[in-house]
A = this chain, B = another copy of it.
Amino acid sequence: MKPAVCLLSGGLDSSTCLALARREGLACYALSFDYGQRHRIELEAAARVAKALGAERHLVIRTGLDAFGGSALTDTIAVPKGRSATEMGEGIPVTYVPARNTIFLSFALAWAETLGISDIVIGVNALDYSGYPDCRPEYIAAFQQLANLGTRAGTEEGQRFTIHTPLILLSKREIIERGVALGVDYALTLSCYDPSPTGKACGRCDACQLRLKGFRENRLEDPARYQEEKSVNGER
């Protein structure tokens, strides 16, 4: 069985991504990060999803990006709630964490090289999401080039690394459609940036709104636990 390192946050995208990798018959080495995120409880979702989808291993790296701050996810900046679709389409939001995917992919590369694995899977999504610069195809292509220049495996051993981004051009509706077809139990996942201490989603941050919109467009109920009423771009 071909192995792959799969980045897994415990959210909807990375969980669907892991299911797609498993469907391809890959032995998945799931990698999550305890980086000082306010929604640290997502790591419990990641553990549930890794187990449910039969990941080979699940490793959590502790690395405090809150030492830098500068993001609503790692600092005292408030997570925006109830933004309209227009507001969400304007520029890079305060939930952007400086260089986060570069750091996450670097660790994935280190683990892959150590295990002799050539394939890395990441659930970035450029289409139906919020303009994070480190989710774009050109960024991923640049990282793949870097990986093959900066490692022993990529140079001496001729083991070319490939960064797989199966969701990159899918809408949230399409991602959920594929996940449902694969039997992903989305009740196990957590997308919210600002969940309650018991892991209930807020229903109003950008991540919740995009997720709820995706379920609605599939004419499905999101099985995740929410704190109260859900709202999509102001509508109830």
| A contacts, CB < 8 Å to B | 59, 61-65, 67-70, 91-92, 96-103, 106-107, 109-111, 113-114, 133-134, 136, 138-139, 142-143, 145-147, 149-156
Contacts and interface: CB of A to CB of B under 8 A. Distances in A.
Contacts of A96: 152
A149 to B, nearest CB: 4
Contact of A70 (B70, B98, B113): B113
B109 A102 contact: yes
Given A64-B62, A114-B70, A142 B134 contact: no
Nearest to A91: B156
A114 B156 contact: no
Nearest to A68: B114
A147 B139 CA distance: 9
A228 B111 CA distance: 37
This chain's copy number in the assembly = 2
Nearest to A100: B110
B145 A150 contact: no
Given A92-B156, A133-B154, A156-B92, A146 B64 contact: no
**A91, A103, A146: residue with the most chain B Cβ atoms closer than 10 Å:** A146
Nearest to A153: B98
A63 to B, nearest CB: 4
B69 A98 contact: no
6 contacts: A62-B63, A68-B110, A98-B110, A98-B152, A133-B155, A136-B149
A65 B108 CA distance: 11
Contacts of A91: 156
Given A68-B111, A99-B113, A100-B110, 18 more contacts: A63-B63, A68-B110, A68-B114, A92-B156, A98-B113, A98-B151, A98-B152, A99-B109, A106-B106, A133-B152, A133-B154, A133-B156, A134-B149, A139-B146, A139-B149, A142-B146, A143-B146, A145-B145
